């Protein structure tokens, strides 16, 4: 079999390698943390993500290179493109590393994003806030995740401080109109070099403190909204010439409109439900796509709720495992626990997730409530 090299050895790489191993591939990763989640099950080169020499070693060991995060260093990407085989290309990274470029690419696909403006000085910000009204969201163009690098501006008094704080990141800023969404949805689509495209069922996502808490599938929205969301993701995958996965985060408004928030060219936390609930998981699909194999069937086998296990949830979860099982059998749900093997259970850190398979979504949601580990906000 051939060897797949992954830039990044976190949980996404780990689950990719677990799936890909079943297809006969070997894996080698590059990650700065010794004993990273993927390194526990695959070969790891321990070095910084921007270490071109280490990336060259990765390339020498691998037949195909992919990544589990989009902030791949430009120098590393350029070297890999010339010296190795990166089926996803470098343009997809270039586009999705930067919110402004990403928004333009989404618009070029004929898909709506929240009204936005590039902000280069505090005066730009004042004018844009006036145009969009309050509240609105100021974001750094690069590097943000879990709501880091953004500021919801709720009053004119905050403009100066918001600008100064985010400007410290030394990247462009973008202001977005605040979308009063009724639901957040996401769709993960896959495209292979031969041009085959498939989307997974749309997930309904609930965040707590800007971190994904629940994904609920099927999303509790009308069928035509589900179809529309899936069609948008496919349109973006085709327009951006995606290879591998593209995760598309969207806002649904009261009048049924969909706005794309952001995209990610990799497996996505909101797609973890596919591991047991779909005929093919997002991780297997990614491996199939980058290896130009036929894409797998994305059909949903069963309703499912995915709940994230953060640092503060690990101990209570492990302590209550027996009780949780009793609860599950009385509710007739099957909670599938996934832990990523991370050493330090820091607060808010993603340590694992549980996919709760059920005939009825309400039973899975009741199980989450009754386990009483995930405090309600």
How many residues sit close enough to Mg ion to count as binding (CB under 5 A)?
Answer: 2
From the list Mg ion, ligand ATP, none, pick the one residue 66 interacts with, judged by a Cβ distance below 5 to 8 Å according to partner type: none
From the list Mg ion, ligand ATP, none, pick the one residue 210 interacts with, judged by a Cβ distance below 5 to 8 Å according to partner type: ligand ATP
Which DSSP helix (H) or strand (E) runs through 92? helix 91-96
Q: Is 11 annotated as a binding residue?
A: no
Q: Kindly tell me which of 73 and 262 has the beta carbon lying closer to Mg ion.
A: 262
User: What's the closest the beta carbon of residue 96 comes to Mg ion, in angstroms?
Assistant: 9
Q: Which pairs from 280-283 meet CB under 8 Å and 24+ separation?
A: 281/15, 281/19, 282/188, 282/190, 282/200, 282/245, 283/12, 283/15, 283/16, 283/18, 283/19, 283/20
Stretch that binds ligand ATP, among 143-151, 191-199, 325-333, 367-375 (CB under 6 A): 143-151
User: What's the closest the beta carbon of residue 352 comes to Mg ion, in angstroms?
Assistant: 20
Q: Kindly tell me which of 286 and 288 has the beta carbon lying closer to ligand ATP.
A: 286
From the list Mg ion, ligand ATP, none, pick the one residue 307 interacts with, judged by a Cβ distance below 5 to 8 Å according to partner type: none
Q: Is 226 annotated as a binding residue?
A: no
* Alpha-carbon span 241 to 157, nearest angstrom: 43
**One residue of 32, 143, 144, 341 binding ligand ATP per CB under 6 A:** 144
Q: Is 14 annotated as a binding residue?
A: no
Is residue 137 at the binding interface for ligand ATP, with CB under 6 A as the rule? yes
| 221 close to 313: Cβ distance less than 8 angstroms | no
Is residue 204 at the binding interface for ligand ATP, with CB under 6 A as the rule? no
Stretch that binds Mg ion, among 238-246, 254-262, 310-318, 329-337 (CB under 5 A): 254-262
* Alpha-carbon span 115 to 274, nearest angstrom: 32
* Alpha-carbon span 260 to 258, nearest angstrom: 7
Residue-by-residue DSSP string for 309-365? EEHHHHHHHHHTHHHHHHHHHHHTEEEEEEE---S---TT-EEEEEEEEESSHHHHH
Is residue 277 at the binding interface for ligand ATP, with CB under 6 A as the rule? no
The CA-based diameter of the chain, rounded to the nearest angstrom, is 60
Stretch that binds ligand ATP, among 27-35, 72-80, 141-149, 223-231 (CB under 6 A): 141-149
Q: Which two tokens stand for residue 42?
A: 């695959």
Is residue 165 at the binding interface for ligand ATP, with CB under 6 A as the rule? no
The CA angle 181-186-189, to the nearest 5 degrees, is: 150
Which 234-253 positions form the footprint of Mg ion (CB under 5 A)? 249
Question: How does DSSP classify residue 157?
Answer: G
61: nearest Cα among 25, 16, 91, 96: 25
Is residue 263 at the binding interface for ligand ATP, with CB under 6 A as the rule? no
How many residues sit close enough to ligand ATP to count as binding (CB under 6 A)?
Answer: 16
Q: Is 177 annotated as a binding residue?
A: yes
Question: How does DSSP classify residue 113?
Answer: B
| 308 close to 314: Cβ distance less than 8 angstroms | no
Q: Kindly tell me which of 137 and 295 has the beta carbon lying closer to ligand ATP.
A: 137
Q: Which residues pair with 30 in a beta bridge?
A: 7, 45
Specify the 3-state DSSP secondary structure of 341: coil
Q: Is 9 annotated as a binding residue?
A: no
From the list Mg ion, ligand ATP, none, pick the one residue 316 interacts with, judged by a Cβ distance below 5 to 8 Å according to partner type: none
Other C-beta atoms closer than 10 Å to the C-beta of 70 total 20
Report the binding-site residues: 99, 139, 144-150, 176-179, 184, 207, 261-262
Report the binding-site residues for ATP: 99, 139, 144-150, 176-179, 184, 207, 261-262
Task: Report the interface residues with Mg ion, using CB under 5 A.
Answer: 249, 262
Task: Report the interface residues with ligand ATP, using CB under 6 A.
Answer: 114, 137, 144-148, 176, 178-179, 184, 207, 210, 249, 261-262
């Amino acid at each position: 079999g051939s060897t797949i090299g992954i830039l990044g050895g976190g949980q996404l790489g780990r689950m990719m390698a677990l799936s890909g191993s079943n297809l006969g591939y070997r894996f080698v990763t590059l990650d700065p943390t010794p004993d990273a989640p993927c390194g526990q099950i695959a070969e790891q080169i321990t070095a910084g993500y921007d270490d071109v020499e280490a990336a060259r070693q990765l390339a020498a060991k691998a037949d195909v290179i992919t990544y589990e995060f989009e902030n791949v260093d430009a120098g590393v990407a350029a070297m890999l493109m010339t010296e190795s085989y990166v089926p996803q290309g470098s343009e997809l990274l270039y586009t999705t590393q930067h919110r402004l470029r990403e928004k333009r690419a989404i618009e070029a696909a004929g898909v709506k994003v929240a009204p936005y403006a590039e902000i280069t000085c505090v005066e730009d910000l004042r004018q844009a806030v006036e145009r969009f009204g309050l509240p609105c969201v100021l974001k750094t163009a690069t590097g943000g995740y879990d709501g880091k690098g953004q500021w919801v501006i709720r009053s004119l008094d905050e403009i100066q401080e918001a600008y100064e704080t985010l400007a410290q990141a030394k990247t462009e800023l973008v202001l977005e109109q605040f979308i009063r969404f009724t639901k957040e949805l996401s769709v993960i689509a896959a495209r292979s070099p031969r041009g085959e495209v498939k989307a997974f069922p749309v997930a309904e996502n609930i965040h707590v403190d800007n971190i994904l808490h629940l994904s609920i599938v099927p999303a509790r929205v009308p069928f035509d909204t589900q179809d529309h969301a899936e069609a948008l993701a496919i349109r973006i995958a085709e327009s951006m010439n995606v290879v591998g996965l593209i995760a598309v985060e969207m806002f649904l408004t009261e009048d049924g409109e969909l706005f794309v928030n952001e995209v990610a060219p990799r497996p996505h936390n909101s797609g973890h439900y596919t591991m047991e609930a779909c005929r093919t998981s997002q991780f297997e699909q990614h491996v199939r796509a980058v290896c130009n194999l036929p894409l797998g069937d994305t059909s949903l086998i069963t309703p499912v709720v995915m709940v994230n296990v953060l640092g503060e949830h690990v101990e209570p979860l492990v302590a209550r495992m027996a009780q949780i099982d009793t609860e599950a059998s009385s509710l007739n749900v099957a909670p599938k626990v996934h832990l990523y093997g991370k050493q330090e259970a820091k607060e808010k850190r993603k340590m694992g997730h549980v996919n709760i398979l059920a005939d009825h979504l309400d039973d899975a949601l009741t199980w989450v409530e009754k386990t009483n580990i995930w405090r309600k906000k």
